[in-house]
Structure 1
Amino acid sequence: MKNASTLERRLRSNLTGDVLFDAFSRGRYATDASFYQILPLGVVVPRTMDEALQALAIARDEGRIVTPRGGGTSQCGQTINDGIVVDFSKHLNRILSLDVESRTCVVEPGIVLDDLNRELRKHGLWFPVDVSTASRATIGGMAGNNSCGGRSLRYGTMRDNTLSMDAALADGTLLHFGEVPRDLAQVNSPQSGLALFRDMLDLGAREAAEISERFPKVQRRVGGYNLDALVPRNAPNNMAHLLVGSEGTLAFTTQIALKLWPLIRNKVLGVCHFGSFYEAMDAAQHLVKLRPIAVELVDRTMISLGREIAMFRPVIEATVHGDPDALLIVEFAEEDQPDNLHRLKQLSELMADLGFGWNHPQRKWGGVVDVVEPATQTAIADFRTSGLNVMMSMKQEGKPVSFVEDCAVPLPHLADYTERLNAIFAKHGTRGTMYAHASEGCLHVRPVLNLKLEKDVKAMRAIAEEAFEMVREYKGSHSGEHGDGLVRSEFHEAMFGSRIVADFREVKQRFDPDNVLNPGKIVDPPKMDDRSLFRYRPDYRVGELKTVLDWSDYPGAGGGFQGAVEMCNNNGACRKLEGGVMCPSYRATRNEKDVTRGRANTLRLAISGQLGPDALASDEMMETLKLCVSCKACRHECPTGVDMAKMKIEVLAARAARHGLSLRDRLVGYLPRYAGLASRFAPIANWRNHSPLLRALFEKLAGISAKRALPAFRRYVFATDVEAFGPADSREVVLFADTFNRYYEGENLTAALHVLVEGGYRVHLPKPADRGRALCCGRTFLSAGLVEQARSELNRLVATYAPFAARGVPIVGLEPSCLLTLRDELLSLRSDNDAKSVSAHALLFEEFLVREAEAGRLKLPLGAVPVKALVHGHCHQKSFGAFKPVEKILRLVPDLSVETIESSCCGMAGAFGYGADTYQASIEMAELSLLPAVRRADAATLIVADGTSCRHQIKDGTNRAALHVARVLAMSLDSARPQRSIPAEEGTDA
């Protein structure tokens, strides 16, 4: 790195964007979604395109290579190299122009496909190269790879939808790449550009016959450079099509002009079931004759894994009949819905003609499930586009590996190709997963291998050679969608012949004579099985880790933390900016450091010693995790199940063990131990909120932001001498009085008690088994890394609640972060039957009420509340699938209009929002959607939020009071029958 010091200084002095040369940042950019890892010299995140070009010029001047990068989701190692990585995704993501009438737009290369389409949708348009990574794939990256998407049968590839590109050559020359005539006399371009174009057109003319002979005749051919764009028969020739698929090796793209299409208005799906995989593959060539816009494969493995993932289980149960070996999802999307329905009928008839029928004695098992309902179509699409991550969710050291990932063969050969491919896998002692684009003869095929083992690396090499030989036999393409990168470029000579490979080299030399731009891709690549380039190199080792939580569900030597960390496959689903919750800090900062993928990569590098000794407990690791709000969204929304909130507890525990606790950690962690005492002296305990001097002192000494008022203690808290309310012969329920509601907002517990008793339940409020202080879930201790203290609290809670759970009594709580600790972290700290029983019976207040209502047991005399309720969901509710009951129970209230705020984390996240160093990030998260939605609500609207933190953030950010659902239901009860059913002295005086 000494040699990099001059380069770093020059970049810092000339750029205002991020210049990252520290080991942790470089490590986060050392991988993409492939199995490779190359540590870059440094990373630049330019604020403007001029800065990006300056970075290129400085790096070139210093003799360094440059690799442009978008979302970093490449499957083949395209976006990693040992020079300077330039990240376009944070700032260079604008729509520069939009012409609705001509259906064209011009964009910067860092814009994400979903973000672009959200804007285009307002005008009835979309960009239809709908890759499965649309929530994080940038248009520049898609152009670099010549991406295709699931509907290329109708809309074509990225190349087919790219009109022109503006780009800089490695020497800084800016050129416009678009359509040019064979006679360049009228082309407005610098002389150097005209000379380049002339040389390329001459090459195309010279090699036209060889190109025609050697280039595969399949649409899904994205390997090598697109020399066929240069041949005379394609005149006028579009020079941009030479850049498409060039993987950043020829020029530095500055803007891209795109062809747009009208939005799909109507569609239907037919889910075709097959008893054997071969039958499905053989049927594909017949199904495309009905002119669908897509035919997507889902195999048995993907169905099985999907059933184990909570977010996908409902759609599989709704649409998959019996035990199919494969599904083909056929999509029709004509303008008129009757036309689509007619084609759906034709699909069933065709399947019958092909000999498939449900349990028909003379036919092969199979048939069609019609899907017309849009919500189910969306759920299927989400499952299908998550295919890669679903496959990677296998909790074992062997994972599906991408290298024969997207070979494409003509459809009539697809069945034989896949059958022979499975035989190759079996020959080498493995099996494969297959899914995706059956309509194009391009399947995402991945044999399951453990690339930490030399024998599996050798198997990968042998499988690649045999599979590619078979693809050539069928006159297919070994690159059908994901490009070449490090994994396939070395096979170009076998695919295209030595003459075409020499042409590729000539193109690269003419564009980039000094080999500055992303070398090693397409031309002069390394061996694909060079283990020195692997994420798991031969010397990759993780020492013994003493963990504080149970990680036995994960792969590794006996299972463990290492296996959990390595579940991240770098596919980047956590980089999405809308929908769901994951990852709220990234949505605010757009920094790779602050996304689940970046944190997981950092953890992997740390535990394997690649970031130096004691990296796990280092300041840099704490900086990496600082903005992780432990929302648990990744636990639910990451299809591979990366649980960063749980991993953060391990890091915090390691940090506490090595460096001790800060004052803020002590104040937060030990809150349940002193909250009762503080409430007795509430006026004194709350002085800090009213004194600017004390606020400033707390910020300096404890790191608690002076801009925040802390939750106010109350002299009177929720406490009762009676341990049970309601008739003795009623159905029983335990009400868990958590620390936050007990000491800060006792009216919520009073309301919940009122609702439960009115609902006909006997409500238990048991005293701790040791008759000591109030029960606690240990959540605050976990947030400070004090795992043993948390275990102690949970032991007390389990001892108290286990007798109730043993006889099937539900344990109901109000605060999501506390109650759901019993469903999550409790089982990572205790695995005994009592803990499991308490966990199994733990329900949020709304979950319990909805369950009782659906069983016909809830008899609440609810009265009218003729207003609107605007509801914000707590992150943990969403992570555990427990938010829908909030909406359902509120809709039982007569005349109450219920609307949900589409929001990610509120940003307060327990103590996070109170930190002086995290306050601003907290506000930025809240301002993404939550606070603006609350401000738009009229004064009569009820703001509803179950989370204590959420309510405080809403109050701080909008000066609006938010209510727990229990209080809304209590209002409804009081509306029907004003008198209270619980004596005031038995509830709260708050």
Structure 2
Amino acid sequence: MSERVHESNLDSLVGALRAETDAEVRFDPGSRGAYSTDGSNYRQVPLGVVVPRTVEAGAHAVQVCARFDVPVLSRGGGTSLAGQTTNAAVVIDWSKYCHALVSVDPAARTCVVEPGIVLDELDRRLADHRLKFGPKPSTHSHCALGGMIGNNSCGASAQAYGKTVDNVRRLEVLTYDGLRMWVGPTSKAERARIAAEGGRRAEVYDGLDRIVDEYLADIRRGYPKIPRRVSGYNLDSLLPENGLDVARALVGSEGTLVTVLHAELDLVPVPPYESLLVLGYDDICRAADDVPHLLEHCSPGQLEALDGRMAQLMREEHAYLDSLDALPEGDSWLLVQFIGDSRDDVDGQAHALLKAIGRSEKDASVAFSDDPRREQKMLKAREAGLGVTARPPDDRETWEGWEDSAVPPERLGDYLRDLKRLFEEFDYNHPSLYGHFGQGCVHTRIPFGMRTAQGVADFRRFLERAADLVASYGGSLSGEHGDGQARGELLTRMFGERLVAAFGEFKALFDPGNRMNPGKVVDPRPVDGQLRLGPAWRPAAEETHFGYPEDDHSFTQAVLRCVGIGNCRSHQGGVMCPSYRVTKEEEHSTRGRSRLLFEMLGGHADSTVTDGWRSTEVRDALDLCLACKGCKSDCPTGVDMATYKAEFLAHHYERRLRPAAHYSMGWLPLWSQLATHVPALANSALHAPLLGRAGKRLAGVDEARQAPVFAGRSFVRWWRARGDERPDPADPSTVVLWPDTFSNFFHPSVAMSAVRVLEDAGFRVAVPTRPVCCGLTWISTGQLDVAKRVLRRTFDVLRPYLDAGTPVVGLEPSCTAVFRADAPELLPDDQDAGRLAGQMRTFAEQLVRHAPEGWRPPELGRSATVQTHCHQHAVMKSDADHELMRRAHLDADVLDEGCCGLAGNFGFERGHHEVSLAVGELGVLPAVRAAAPDALLLADGFSCRTQIDQGGTGRHALHLAEALALGLEGPLPGERPERLADRPERPSRTARWATTALAATAAAAGGREAVRRLRRP
């Protein structure tokens, strides 16, 4: 807490903010913990958080804070890497509500925005005008324009469009003492008018004149003439030759001078055509040497670089392999993108460059593409740098601190060689070097030892040496990420004492009381102070249920995977984080939850979470986690919040009464086993108006949810009735079909159809007839001791198949994912868990990769809209499914609309129904409604099918196995049988089960007419 804020004052401040501002005011421990750090090495617990509903409310909140003399910190996406957005201040989060595109002037190519608008969202809203904002940092899916202005963000596209400062026309700003004004370039006439009006505004402009007059020569000489200077205040924008541009002088000031309320931005046309040339080199220094030569012969839209170390990390992490496959030979690469008005234009630019440098498109070290999809694959490898290098598989931790230095491009190669020698001197081996080489900006993450006194001392000493090195090259401490706390203390090494003194006067002019984000840039806190870890960090050592094999068997290490990149705050595409996309709450993002788990570890004296596993703050933040596992794959550092949630719930409710839903839905496999003896009675009870409502209340189920219907006969009962002889587990054609709870008791047609298709492919199917379960529902509700017992009983039932190495085929993605991922982590020393993980296959994997040669799936010849289950997306992936659909002649539109929102028990639990449906309405449910009436609707997950069925779509989805089984049935009456004539002979079987499976599937698909539509040539 700020030394100038006492508890009584703080209470009064909270009361005033709540009474006087239209904002969400949060001074609770959970909110403060979630905002205690950003993407940097630093941590400071804020006084509280204010989330204004309007820009006016945000401005008024600043005024209230000024009345109580408390510091203020504006925050957008919170991804700052130098500590700009962590402070013991009142945090104003603009991102939830203040994200309007206020106006667009297509003719002038300008727009006005509120500070919370996300860059990708802005570009989407400008798409109809074929315009966009030029700078595009790698965080474009979730960074806010206010944050970009605060940091002077750049990105790869700055090669063509410049930094944010070069694209800001005017700003509406508010000073701490209440001056509100629009600022921009100031003509002599405007300057005279301001002086004549007098008052605080005239005082500011008089001060600016005085600073320029006093430091004119220093400003002209002291700023390096390079394209990527982001360090320091932009006093050069105040020079007479630059039009006394106050807006551009404030860009990059990191919230230390003013609060930005609106911004008028310059826009650029969206280039109609792009091409990409990739050049391979022996090492990254030689690639850097070639940059000036390339720039002599072309003016690229981007000139990016990545080195062999990053490629190695991608291979070790099995990430972005498609991107690597698209790269040419070499151990380092330059990626040169061209933009133009025609394909001939961009192709011609690339070929002209090749000719100028004596290379050919046919060279093994050259790759060329004018295919946007292929280009994006190659560029993804570079854009993924921060996530890939953040947590290398060799168990080292890498950190920010010297991650964006910049030098003149013509001196880049020599700078990299000296930087590498400095790495060797400090024994910081193998940091990856990559970045925006066309502008001399170098990205890296270094394995600083941030947990010991010696490691932190070396960290400080390295930064001082590196700052001197980059200054000797006429470079900048920061070429993109700003100064904050990471580099503020080092600015005198770059600018000298006089210019840093000028920065102090500039700060005092706008913020004389040092209340705007204090301790950054001016009078900065030390680079080794307020560290997120540090030698004084003492987290509690906890015994856990999961093994965390990729995190040194440590829950603490697992939580530290989150480095604050913020991809979980994206609004479209991928899976994570569905609850954040609905609530726009930091606590409901993967990052926010990770922050609270970090606070729960109690490593700092001022930790906001003080009751460990019993924490209500952590429980509340995790309550809306859907356990979709989207973060396991979509988070660049592999955070697995579903596992962390299960771990937390296990400890939180240990020897305590649990929520009713944990007993009802958590024990669903047992209740389903009992209900299968009297399914009609169970269904009547669940759906009777009075009894059903009472049962839902008792079970902790939301009354708005319809209970799923138990099948009249379970799949296992149907299987037993077949009376087939059990196949030999050692027979290479034998496969075990896993009878998961959902396919067994609710949708048996899925499993019956799978039997049909697997047997058609020549496999002999075995099905366990004794009760088995993956333990999913117990895992998701944190009943991990029960889950372990369930799994061990399952292993006993599967013993003959585990011993023989028989493949086990899963139909329900969530259950398959348990065996592939959760079970080995929950039972890390159990050999059976490891064996089953290796033997577990998806339905599509078995058919695509292991079916007898010559077998072909039925040719369905239909379009299909496909929803991929989140657990499949995260754990098994869908490559085999896509290939199976291709072979079945399905024209598949695989949705990229995120989670369906039901997510197992989540969408059924009381209090979750609104969020569950809101998640579905973000993409999946509208896409289903928009699907062509004659298109198949495929969803392998029981949750996805249930949400589609109950989500007001008027559609019913099939499992892929059901669709293929329909295609295998004989022709309907009156249809021609020719298309089956060349099919291999199928094993004989009774007609009874085939008729049953077809009838059940047809009912799910919407009746016999749906079958006819599917089968119609």
Cα distance, 1:410–1:938 mapped onto 2, change above 3 Å: closer
**Residue 58 of structure 1: SS of its match in structure 2?**
helix
2:679 alignment counterpart: 682
State whether structure 2 residue 242 is matched by structure 1 residue 234: yes
State whether structure 2 residue 294 is matched by structure 1 residue 301: no
**Residue 306 of structure 2: SS of its match in structure 1?**
strand
* In structure 2, distance between residues paired with 1:983 and 1:618: 58
Cα distance, 1:863–1:399 mapped onto 2, change above 3 Å: closer
**Residue 317 of structure 2: SS of its match in structure 1?**
coil
Which structure 2 segments of 5+ residues have no match?
Answer: 1-6, 978-987, 1001-1017
1:880 is aligned, of 862, 869, 875, to 875
1:927 is aligned, of 898, 921, 929, to 921
Give the alignment's Cα RMSD to 1 decimal: 2.5
Contact 1:754 1:982 in 2 (8 A): no
The within-5 A match list for 1:73-222 is: 73-184=79-190, 191=198, 192-222=200-230
One-letter identity of the residue aligned with 2:451: K
One-letter identity of the residue aligned with 1:762: R
Cα distance, 1:308–1:984 mapped onto 2, change above 3 Å: farther
State whether structure 2 residue 767 is matched by structure 1 residue 765: yes
**Residue 733 of structure 1: SS of its match in structure 2?**
strand
Contact 1:43 1:87 in 2 (8 A): yes
Q: How far apart are residue 11 of structure 1 and its match?
A: 1.3
* In structure 1, distance between residues paired with 2:414 and 2:723: 71
1:578 alignment counterpart: 572
State whether structure 2 residue 414 is matched by structure 1 residue 420: no
Cα distance, 1:697–1:353 mapped onto 2, change above 3 Å: closer
Q: How far apart are residue 401 of structure 1 and its match?
A: 2.2
2:866 alignment counterpart: 871
1:906 alignment counterpart: 900
1:268 is aligned, of 270, 275, 285, to 275
Cα distance, 1:391–1:767 mapped onto 2, change above 3 Å: same
* In structure 2, distance between residues paired with 1:271 and 1:198: 51
1:842 alignment counterpart: 840
2:777 alignment counterpart: 780
Q: TM-score, normalised by structure 2?
A: 0.91
The within-5 A match list for 1:187-586 is: 191=198, 192-235=200-243, 237-289=244-296, 290-321=298-329, 324-349=330-355, 352=358, 367-395=365-393, 398-431=396-429, 432-530=431-529, 533-555=530-552, 559-586=553-580
* In structure 2, distance between residues paired with 1:681 and 1:813: 26
Cα distance, 1:724–1:837 mapped onto 2, change above 3 Å: farther
Task: Identify the range of structure 1 (492-501 vs 565-574) with the bigger mean alpha-carbon deviation.
Answer: 492-501
**What is the identity percentage for the equivalent residue pairs of Structure 1 and Structure 2?**
36
* In structure 2, distance between residues paired with 1:107 and 1:506: 30
* In structure 2, distance between residues paired with 1:619 and 1:43: 19
* In structure 1, distance between residues paired with 2:181 and 2:610: 48
One-letter identity of the residue aligned with 1:329: L
Cα distance, 1:248–1:91 mapped onto 2, change above 3 Å: same
The within-5 A match list for 1:665-680 is: 665-680=662-677
1:949 alignment counterpart: 943
Q: How far apart are residue 311 of structure 1 and its match?
A: 4.1
1:362 alignment counterpart: none
Contact 2:30 2:609 in 1 (8 A): no
Contact 1:489 1:521 in 2 (8 A): yes
Contact 1:407 1:443 in 2 (8 A): yes
Task: Identify the range of structure 1 (384-393 vs 175-184) with the bigger mean alpha-carbon deviation.
Answer: 175-184
One-letter identity of the residue aligned with 1:240: A
1:18 alignment counterpart: 24
2:641 is aligned, of 625, 639, 644, to 644
One-letter identity of the residue aligned with 1:851: R
Contact 1:802 1:837 in 2 (8 A): no
Q: How far apart are residue 954 of structure 1 and its match?
A: 0.9
* In structure 1, distance between residues paired with 2:685 and 2:503: 70
Deviations 1:681-715 (A, max 9, x none): 22332345433433443454332111111112234
State whether structure 2 residue 36 is matched by structure 1 residue 30: yes
Contact 1:168 1:174 in 2 (8 A): yes
Contact 1:865 1:975 in 2 (8 A): no
* In structure 1, distance between residues paired with 2:864 and 2:736: 28
Contact 2:323 2:379 in 1 (8 A): no
How many correspondences in the alignment?
965
* In structure 2, distance between residues paired with 1:270 and 1:920: 48
Task: Identify the range of structure 1 (516-525 vs 156-165) with the bigger mean alpha-carbon deviation.
Answer: 516-525
Q: How far apart are residue 491 of structure 1 and its match?
A: 1.8
**Residue 433 of structure 2: SS of its match in structure 1?**
strand
Contact 2:452 2:534 in 1 (8 A): no
Contact 1:724 1:764 in 2 (8 A): no
One-letter identity of the residue aligned with 1:83: A
1:621 is aligned, of 614, 618, 622, to 618
* In structure 2, distance between residues paired with 1:957 and 1:106: 37
The within-5 A match list for 1:692-731 is: 692-719=689-716, 720-721=719-720, 722=722, 731=733
Contact 2:316 2:393 in 1 (8 A): no
Q: How far apart are residue 385 of structure 1 and its match?
A: 1.3
**Residue 676 of structure 2: SS of its match in structure 1?**
helix
Task: Identify the range of structure 1 (89-98 vs 927-936) with the bigger mean alpha-carbon deviation.
Answer: 927-936
Q: How far apart are residue 837 of structure 1 and its match?
A: 2.6
Q: How far apart are residue 726 of structure 1 and its match?
A: 11
One-letter identity of the residue aligned with 1:973: L
One-letter identity of the residue aligned with 2:766: H
**Residue 716 of structure 1: SS of its match in structure 2?**
coil
Contact 1:748 1:967 in 2 (8 A): yes
Cα distance, 1:470–1:593 mapped onto 2, change above 3 Å: same
Cα distance, 1:907–1:725 mapped onto 2, change above 3 Å: farther
Task: Identify the range of structure 1 (335-344 vs 584-593) with the bigger mean alpha-carbon deviation.
Answer: 335-344
* In structure 2, distance between residues paired with 1:700 and 1:957: 21
Q: How far apart are residue 135 of structure 1 and its match?
A: 1.0
The within-5 A match list for 1:731-880 is: 731-768=733-770, 774-801=771-798, 803-831=800-828, 832-852=830-850, 856-860=853-857, 862=858, 864=860, 868-880=863-875
* In structure 2, distance between residues paired with 1:127 and 1:602: 34
Q: How far apart are residue 383 of structure 1 and its match?
A: 2.3
1:588 is aligned, of 553, 575, 582, to 582
One-letter identity of the residue aligned with 1:475: G
* In structure 1, distance between residues paired with 2:460 and 2:20: 45
Q: How far apart are residue 727 of structure 1 and its match?
A: 9.6
Contact 1:490 1:525 in 2 (8 A): yes
Deviations 1:533-572 (A, max 9, x none): 11114321122211111113214xxx41111111110111
Contact 1:698 1:706 in 2 (8 A): no
The within-5 A match list for 1:34-45 is: 34-45=40-51
One-letter identity of the residue aligned with 2:324: I
* In structure 2, distance between residues paired with 1:611 and 1:168: 31
Contact 2:661 2:699 in 1 (8 A): yes
Cα distance, 1:886–1:17 mapped onto 2, change above 3 Å: farther
**Residue 486 of structure 2: SS of its match in structure 1?**
helix
1:361 alignment counterpart: none
Q: How far apart are residue 320 of structure 1 and its match?
A: 4.7
* In structure 1, distance between residues paired with 2:395 and 2:320: 23
1:916 is aligned, of 905, 910, 918, to 910
1:363 alignment counterpart: none
**Residue 207 of structure 1: SS of its match in structure 2?**
helix
* In structure 1, distance between residues paired with 2:666 and 2:440: 57
Q: How far apart are residue 939 of structure 1 and its match?
A: 4.1
Q: How far apart are residue 865 of structure 1 and its match?
A: 5.8
Cα distance, 1:183–1:859 mapped onto 2, change above 3 Å: closer
Task: Identify the range of structure 1 (32-41 vs 538-547) with the bigger mean alpha-carbon deviation.
Answer: 538-547
Q: How far apart are residue 869 of structure 1 and its match?
A: 2.4
One-letter identity of the residue aligned with 1:602: L
Q: TM-score, normalised by structure 1?
A: 0.93
2:962 is aligned, of 958, 964, 967, to 967
